[in-house]
Structure 1
Amino acid sequence: MSGKLSLKFLPLSLLAVLAGCNSSSPIAGLNVGQPAAQQQPVTPVVQAYCPDVVMRDDTAIRSTYAGNAKDDPEKLIYRASLADATRACTANETTLTITVMAQGRIVLGPAGKPGPTKVPVVVEVVEGDNVIYSQTTQFNVDIPPEGSTQFIFAKNDVAIPNTAGGVSRFTRVRLGFEAVAAKKTTRRPG
């Protein structure tokens, strides 16, 4: 019964919507045939390809230890990670400039102390297997007494050549931390 009742009110609802229109002319307000008020010429914009940002799987997480104690949880100073990233590009005839931003997080370990620290972030631009740009930035992070914080890494001056055909679709920006170099220990002959 309620289905039949609602169908009876459907034409009344449509009539109420149509009654809201107060013009008898279907083209009123469209300014048909009248010149537009001084339109500015539109200049076409040609945008360059802006390479994707990818995280390096092997260096997107960095664990720093005190001394030579690799993988000793009691000697962990901090663990940092990079996650979501984005980019923006500007181009001229010769150069493509990329602004790279990434979200990061740092957590202190048992051997770490709150305060300012630097994390070495590597930004690379690769064309296939060839590295065409690589720079390490010592990025400042202030670790609060709570022992963990998030940070936003930003580098706005990644400049690569913009060739006549533009940047290739195989070009990528890779982000990661500088690889931790293993310290060599030397033993004296005894």
Structure 2
Amino acid sequence: MVFRSFDGRVAASLMVTGFVLSLAGCQSAGKAMDNGALQPDPPKVKASDLRAYCPKVTLREGTAYFNSYAKGGQDDPSKLAYQAAISDVTRDCSRSDGTLTMNVAAAGKVVPGPMGSAGTVTMPIRVVVAQGSQVLYSQLHQYKLPITDTSAATQFAFSDPNVSVPVPAADTYQVFVGFDEGPPKAAKPAAARPAPKVARKKKPVTPAAAPAQPPTQTSISDIPR
């Protein structure tokens, strides 16, 4: 009797296991036959693609922070609306028909300042691909981030998935991402003061010289004797 009871339990266990496997097979087949159409297998990743060159992204010094101030309060800490900071950068690459396409991403946070308020902040983020002194790609994005809580930092994640350049013959590409406020605004030149008027001195009028008298002809008769 003991052996029969044991065999019954084993048989039941095998039946449950078979049912689960059958159900899993049906579910798998259901995914493959989505809407009655056989779905193609996802493309396989080649080992050559994993070893292929994908340029490193660099956060250039001086482009990791961006400050925004209330109107008229430039560079005044008490007028700071918010400060944005990039803390991480990354990318992924794909190749097709001689073109290298990259998705360049940057992540960070926005910290409200004394003049911060809820709303949407706009951050100028530029992505650049260069080869030596030659710029192959440069795009300035006006990235908008909604701010709802001014008592804490707000995280953000930016990406540019359309970075396309020719596949290089050598590993010589440089990729940069960072905040770009553009060149500093030149101060308006002070209005030129009009030159003081200098009174011109009138030249003294030189009286015209009296016309010279013709010389008197002296004769012998005029000389006193």
Q: Which TM-score band applies after superposition, normalised by the shorter structure?
A: 0.5 to 0.7
Residue ranges of structure 2 left out of the alignment (5+ in a row): 1-43, 194-225
- 2:85 aligns with 81
Residue type of the alignment partner of 2:164:
A
* Cα pair distance change 1:115/1:88, threshold 3 Å: same
- Counterpart CA distance in 1 for 2:174 and 2:76 is 35
* Cα pair distance change 1:83/1:43, threshold 3 Å: closer
Find the partner of 2:107 among 100, 103, 114: 103
- 1:66 aligns with 70
| Equivalences, count | 146
- 1:159 aligns with 164
Deviation at 1:69, TM superposition (A): 3.6
Query: 1:136-155 maps to which residues of 2 (within 5 A)?
Result: 136-145=140-149, 146-155=151-160
Find the partner of 1:179 among 178, 181, 184: 181
TM-score by length of 1: 0.67
* Partners of 1:59 and 1:179 within 8 A in 2: no
Which fold has the larger relative contact order, with Cα–Cα distance below 8 Å and residues 6 or more apart in sequence? Answer: 1
* Partners of 1:55 and 1:83 within 8 A in 2: no
- 1:19 aligns with none
Residue type of the alignment partner of 1:92:
S
Higher helix fraction (1 or 2): 2
Deviation at 1:43, TM superposition (A): 9.4
1:57 pairs with 2:49 = no
- 1:16 aligns with none
Residue type of the alignment partner of 2:69:
Y
Secondary structure of the residue aligned to 1:46 is: helix
Secondary structure of the residue aligned to 1:74 is: helix
Secondary structure of the residue aligned to 1:150 is: strand
Residue type of the alignment partner of 2:165:
I
- 1:14 aligns with none
Residue ranges of structure 1 left out of the alignment (5+ in a row): 1-41
* Partners of 1:84 and 1:102 within 8 A in 2: yes
Larger Rg: 2
Deviation at 1:78, TM superposition (A): 1.5
- Counterpart CA distance in 1 for 2:46 and 2:184 is 53
Deviation at 1:188, TM superposition (A): 4.5
TM-score by length of 2: 0.58
Deviation at 1:189, TM superposition (A): 5.7
* Cα pair distance change 1:182/1:77, threshold 3 Å: farther
Secondary structure of the residue aligned to 2:78 is: helix
- Counterpart CA distance in 2 for 1:133 and 1:121 is 14
Query: 1:9-48 maps to which residues of 2 (within 5 A)?
Result: 46-47=48-49, 48=52
Deviations 1:18-70 (A, max 9, x none): xxxxxxxxxxxxxxxxxxxxxxxx99653231100110111111112234543
- Counterpart CA distance in 2 for 1:136 and 1:115 is 22
Residue type of the alignment partner of 1:76:
L
- Counterpart CA distance in 2 for 1:58 and 1:108 is 20
